Amino acid sequence: MEITNLEDAAALTKKFTSRPSNEELLKLYGLYKQATEGDNETERPGGFDFKAAAKFNAWLNFKGKSKSDASDEYISLVEELSTKYL
DSSP assignment of 26-80: HHHHHHHHHHHH-S--SPPPPTT-HHHHHHHHHHHTTTT--HHHHHHHHHHHHHH
Q: What are the sequence ranges of the domains in the chain?
A: 6-85
Checking if the pLDDT of 85 tops 90, the result is yes
What band does 2 get if pLDDT is binned at 50, 70 and 90?
A: confident
Kindly report the CATH class assigned to 6-85: mainly alpha
Global pTM reads: 0.94
Q: Do the Cβ atoms of 30 and 54 come closer than 8 Å?
A: no
